[in-house]
Amino acid sequence: MNGTNGTDARVVATLDGASMRRLTTGQVILDGIDWSVRSGEHWALLGPNGAGKTSILRLIGATAFPTTGTVEVLGHRLGRVDVRELRAHIGHVSTSQRVPRDLTGHTVVLTGHSGTVQPLWKTYDSEVRDRARELLAELQIKDLADREYGVCSGGQRARILIARALMANPSLLLLDEPFNALDLPSREDLIDTMRRLADNRPGLATVTVTHHLEELSPAISHALLLKEGRVLARGAVEDVLTADRMTACFGRPIEVTRHAGRWLARSGGLA
């Protein structure tokens, strides 16, 4: 099931008039963002560099606060909740995450239980260790359990980090450019992983920041287009990822096609 559109879907994150400005310069980063994510929805977050994509992830990941407006995550409003406890229920995957290269794949996943970079061995009982191995198997990388993270490929590392993020059994999984610098086979493996994850966890909501439509899995149900810190379009993926809207978002003619659930965008030439 790709996305949940029924009225019984639980809201997991809501931005209501949320804006962000740089304290030092007053520069507007986000301007009056209204947006909600519900359980079972899988969002693609797209826009030019500097549009505010990562800033939105920081808000719904409870690692930043809006300058004005409100942000609610998992039923709690930022500013009225201990964000450290809230973050424990949000999965976050980024290729910029600092992971010790000498840890094994299994150990990296274990650190998702303690939310630490280095392992806290006393906190990992047999049940926790078994769960880490189950997640590696679910993501079809159980053969990486004893392999050092530093010698894994980019695609393997991305899947290890997703398994790590799932250790807390999150309701919301945020992926910040997880396909960065992946070759074609690794990209396709990760796309297939995201599709299976959506099938196996129908209540999980995901938000994926990417620059390329080709990186979107068939599980993506919704899309948000950002331009200069404002929402250009949001909603069902087939309504948002149109040639007209992509052209308006990126400032040059763009052709958009879809085949077997996969997307392709290419420039139609100079305006």
Confidence grade of residue 84 (pLDDT, cut at 50, 70, 90):
confident
Query: Does 216 share its domain with 234?
Result: yes
Domain range for 149: 99-169
pLDDT of residue 8: 58
**Closest residue by Cα to residue 224 from 5, 53, 71, 64:** 53
Last residue of a domain, one of 141, 169, 197: 169
> Does 213 have pLDDT greater than 60?
yes
Rounded to whole angstroms, how far apart are CA atoms 70 and 17? 7
> Does an H or E element contain 73, and which?
strand 68-73
Output the pLDDT for position 188. 92
SS3 37: strand
For a pLDDT cut of 90, what percent of the chain falls above it? Answer: 78
Computed on alpha carbons and rounded to an integer, the radius of gyration of the chain in Å comes to 19
More confident: 211 or 239: 239
Residue whose tokens read 């980063």: 29
Section 91-115 average pLDDT: 91
Residue 5 lies in a domain: yes
Domain-terminating residue out of 169, 194, 223: 169
Residue 94 lies in a domain: no
Provide the CATH number for the domain around residue 69: 3.40.50.300
pLDDT over 50 (residue 2): no
Number of structural domains (the chain) is 2
Question: Does 176 share its domain with 205?
Answer: yes
pLDDT of the residue at 57: 94
Q: Do 37 and 205 contact (CB within 8 A), yes or no?
A: yes
Residue 184 lies in a domain: yes
Q: Are residues 74 and 149 in the same domain?
A: no
* pLDDT exceeds cutoff 80 at 7: no
Residue 242 lies in a domain: yes
Give backbone dihedrals phi and psi of 247, rounded to 5 degrees, phi first: -65, -45
**Is the domain of 43 the same as that of 139?**
no
> Residue 3: its pLDDT value, please?
42
pLDDT at 86: 86
Out of 169, 198, 214, pick the residue that ends a domain. 169
Same domain, yes or no: 187 and 230: yes
pLDDT band at 204 (very low <50, low <70, confident <90, very high): very high
* pLDDT for position 70: 95
Task: Identify whether residues 64 and 124 lie together within a single domain.
Answer: no
> Do 40 and 71 fall into the same domain?
yes
Query: Would the pLDDT of 191 be above 70?
Result: yes
28 plus 141 within the same structural domain: no
Say if 182 falls within a structural domain.
yes
Say whether both 164 and 196 belong to one domain: no
Mean pLDDT of the chain, nearest integer: 91
| 258 occurs within a structural domain | yes
Give CA–CA dist 137/52, Å, rounded: 35
Q: What is the pLDDT of residue 180?
A: 86
Calculate mean pLDDT across residues 36-55. Answer: 95
- Global pTM value: 0.90
Phi, psi angle pair for 156, to nearest 5° = -65, -40
- Cα dihedral value 90, 91, 94, 97, nearest 10: 90
Judged against a pLDDT cut of 80, whether residue 268 lies above it is answered with: no
Q: Which two tokens stand for residue 110?
A: 């274990």
- Lowest mean pLDDT across 10-19, 79-88, 155-164: 79-88
Element (H, E) at 39: none
Q: Is residue 75 located within the same domain as residue 36?
A: yes
Band (pLDDT 50/70/90 cuts) for residue 269 is: low
Both tokens of residue 3? 């996305």
- Eight-class DSSP state of 215: G
The beta strands (E) that lie in 87-218 are given as 90-94, 172-176, 205-209
Q: Is 47 helix (H, G, I), strand (E, B) or coil?
A: coil
Q: Is 245 a member of any domain?
A: yes
Same-domain check for residues 14 and 61:
yes
**127-145 average pLDDT score:** 95
Is the domain of 150 the same as that of 260? no
